[in-house]
Structure formats: C-alpha cells, structure tokens
Amino acid sequence: MNMHDQSGSAKLLRTARCASIAKHAGRRAFALAAALSLSACSALTTPSAPTAFMATGDLGTIIERADGSVTLINNTRNEIIGRVTGLGDLSHASIVYSRDERFAYVFGRDGGLTKVDIVNQRIDKRVMQSGNSIGGAISQDGKLIAVSNYTPGGVKVFDADTLALVTDIPARYVNDLGEEKQSKVVGLVDAPGQRFVFSLFDGNEIWEADFNQSPPAITRFKNIGKQPYDALISPDGRYYIAGLFGEDGLAMLDLWHPEKGVLRILPDYGKGEQKLPVYKMPHLEGWAVAGKHAFVPAVGQHEVLTFNMETWEATGKIPVHGQPVFVMSRPDGREIWVNFAFPNNDTIQVLDAETLQIKKTLKPGKAVLHMEFTPRGEHVWVSVRDDDKVKVYDTRTYEVLAELPAQKPSGIFFTHRAHQTGL
C-alpha cells in the first residue's frame, strides 16, 4: 500500500466566476443576494472560500489530460466556472460523483485518487493508491469508492468521506504454471445491491463483490475468455458484458442469475480485426441501447454493429467513417452519436436509431476524444483535444452554441451521473 495525503493546490478563475455571480444575482433582483455574493467574491483570498447560492445539478468537469487538472463548468450557461490543478497524470482518467454532487472522485492513470470539492473548487483529499490504475466506481449508497489497478493489480476500496482504505482485493489467480499471481483488473463497475463487478485481465475471470457484508462476499467466475480488456453494465444494472482481447466474442454475466454462469455472446465480435490495424480498442462503456437494439463499436472495422438484447444475436452492421471509439445514445434514444479513432478522429457521425442511416456528419476539429449529453439531451459537449477546446452543440439543429477553452480536454462528466448506475 502506498498512500500519501497530498493536499494539492487549487486555482480559481476568480474574476470570471464572481462577475458571473454578480450578474446572475443582479438580474434576478436579489439585493441581499448580490451583496453577499460580491462580498464572498472580494473575500476570495483562499481557494476554500465558499460559493453562495450554489446548486449543483447543472455542473460538470472536464479532464485536461496534459496539465493534470480539471475544468469546472456550468452546462446551463455554457460557461467555465473554475479549475482545479494538481491531480497528477490524467492521461486515461475518469470521474464519478458523490450522491450530493459536491465531490468529484478523479481516477488518475498514475494511481492517484483525488476527491475534488466542486462547490469550493479545491482538492478535498488525495491519495496515491497504486502505481497504475485504470478506472473506478462509486457504490450504490455512495459510501465506497473502488479503484481497479494495473500495478500491482487488484481492486482497492476506500471510504468515500475520508479516502481511508476499507478493503484490499488483490485479485489473485493461478496461472498455467500453477503459480499464484495478482491480476491487472479492468471493467470495474458498480451494480445494484451494493456490489462491484470487475474483470481479471491476466486471470481470465469475472468477480462480483457484495459489500453488504464486511469483508465483502466474493463470487468468482473462472475461464470466462482470454484477456477481458474492458466491460460495460446495462443501464438497469443487470447485464455485465466484457470484451475479450485474446479471442472473439464477448463474455456476459446476468447478475439476476449468477447461477447460470458467464455466457459467450456475439461469437464473431472482434473477428477480422487483423484486416486493419486497431488504432484504439473501443470504449465498451459507451455502448448505446435504443429500443431492443444495442449499438456497439466494431473492433478495427469502420462499422457500428447492432444486436438484439433479448436474443443476444447480431442484427446488422452500419458502415461509418472510421473505427468507432464511443457509440452513444442521445438520452431520448432517437439518435446514436459516434466518434472515431485516429486518423479519422476529426469527425462525429449521427445515426438514426430507427432507420440505421447516417443522418449527419460533423467536423468538430482535431482529435475528438469524448462526448457528453446534457441529461435531457438537448445539447452535447464535445472535447477536441488538439484544438484545445470544447464545443457545445444543439442536438436538434447541430449548430455550435459555444466554444470553451480547455487544455488538451478528454473526458467530460456532468453531475447527473451521480444518480446513475454503472458509470
């Protein structure tokens, strides 16, 4: 265990933020409110000064991968409201939120776990919990933060309030030589019933950990397929599906029926990936479900695949502009938005979920890494890494509504994720 409490430094965009508060308060004719807000702003001599009138339902974070920082945004006013720095290596980072939406837990590539207070725009706590980590999740009740690690492998589970270590799950397996080893862990998600589910890349296993008891009750599913490299859970938290790097098809666990074991579905998935170099393995957590169809990125092909979620049978292939990375459903399910791997990563395509036709092709700029829809779907935010900007689109007219500066932006995460399972 390698835990250091690093308080870190937080930098505020004070002027812009306070001006915005004053304008906002003034427009609504709250004399007292304006006075208090301005006074709070002029008193901002430390990064821990509180913000008056804060509601958090329309806030979000953008990972700035090169700088180890997150930009804080408001998705009603399409504005940057602050920035927090000192988060370490964010080259493959992700974020989950506390159930009150006050804290963003940032999982860094270097094993850093940082709890950012987005209301007060500062680092609340930070621990180095491993040498190399790949993602995390927050428990159903919001009390536990789990992190999956490459080095030394395994899963560590922390108290969401204090970041104190609660449980260490080394994820040991026995290899072909009969040796006990610790596995890299991937595809970590939260599931209903206070559970975490994850996959052992080296161990070829899926584990389900039930945290209704302490230590957690762990159920191991062995020989699920070679080298699971990522996974998703369906929006209702029922189906856990892992992609396999070492063979074709996908490994599926029905969490309502663990007694049925792990099944192989879509046996052709990944086949033919040798035909083209695979520039980037697609993100499985981006799978879209619209009606009874699920839309998934093909591996190494210029295609989006569809399958039926009742029969688990492939139903079609949609030719697209490049190798898809994220395949995401607009919240109303009417459209599927797709971005692509290098060298086609300047483009987004929008598919009609019913006709399966390409409806629109957009060119946001150089290196489109991620998309995040506002919760009710009227806008989508797009990070354009090599242009150092984030663009906000109207999803009805496809117009650009705003462009915001960000340093090498990657993942975008809005606070409504606090209320969803499996993110």
Q: Which residues bind a second copy (CB under 8 A)?
A: 28, 30, 32-33, 36-37, 46, 48-58, 76, 97-102, 119-120, 140-142, 161, 192-194, 212, 236-238, 256, 290, 292, 310, 331-334, 354, 375-378, 396, 415-416, 418-421
Q: How far is the CB of 270 from a second copy (least distance, A)?
A: 28
Say if residue 357 is exposed, middle or buried (CB neighbours under 10 Å; 0-12, 13-18, 19+). Answer: exposed
Q: In the complex with a second copy, which residue's Cβ is closer, 380 or 418?
A: 418
Q: In the complex with a second copy, which residue's Cβ is closer, 50 or 131?
A: 50
Long-range contact pairs involving 1-6 (C-beta distance under 8 Å, separation at least 24): 1/129, 1/165, 1/168, 2/111, 2/128, 2/129, 2/130, 2/131, 3/127, 3/128, 3/129, 3/165, 4/127, 4/128, 5/125, 5/126, 5/127, 5/163, 6/86, 6/123, 6/126, 6/127, 6/128
18 three-class SS: helix
Q: In the complex with a second copy, which residue's Cβ is closer, 88 or 237?
A: 237
Beta bridge partner(s), residue 305: 296, 317
Q: In the complex with a second copy, which residue's Cβ is closer, 271 or 334?
A: 334
Which pairing describes strands 195-200 and 205-210: parallel, antiparallel, or unpaired?
A: antiparallel
Q: How far is the CB of 396 from a second copy (least distance, A)?
A: 6
Q: Look-up: residue for tokens 């209704």?
A: 212
Q: In the complex with a second copy, which residue's Cβ is closer, 292 or 366?
A: 292
Q: In the complex with a second copy, which residue's Cβ is closer, 182 or 308?
A: 308
CB atoms within 10 A of CB 143: 16
Q: In the complex with a second copy, which residue's Cβ is closer, 168 or 354?
A: 354
Q: In the complex with a second copy, which residue's Cβ is closer, 141 or 268?
A: 141
For residue 112, which phi and psi values (nearest 5 degrees)?
A: -75, 135
Can you tell me the distance from the alpha carbon of 338 to that of 329, in angstroms, rounded to the nearest whole number? 9
Q: How far is the CB of 4 from a second copy (least distance, A)?
A: 18
Provide the residue type at 401 as one letter: L
Looking from the CA of 48 toward its CB, the CA atoms found within 13 Å total 6
For residue 146, which phi and psi values (nearest 5 degrees)?
A: -110, 140
Q: How far is the CB of 388 from a second copy (least distance, A)?
A: 27
Q: How far is the CB of 193 from a second copy (least distance, A)?
A: 6
Q: How far is the CB of 11 from a second copy (least distance, A)?
A: 18
What is the DSSP code (8-state) at residue 399? -
Q: How far is the CB of 126 from a second copy (least distance, A)?
A: 15
Q: How far is the CB of 337 from a second copy (least distance, A)?
A: 15
Q: In the complex with a second copy, which residue's Cβ is closer, 149 or 234?
A: 234
Peptide bond into 375 cis (omega under 30): no
Q: How far is the CB of 332 from a second copy (least distance, A)?
A: 4
Compute the 3-state secondary structure of the chain and give helix, strand, coil in percent, each to the nearest 5: 10, 45, 45
Interhelix angle for 14-27 vs 31-42, to 10°? 170
Which of 32, 40, 34, 33 has the alpha carbon at shortest distance from 12?
40
Residues in the chain: 423
Q: In the complex with a second copy, which residue's Cβ is closer, 99 or 359?
A: 99
Q: How far is the CB of 286 from a second copy (least distance, A)?
A: 18
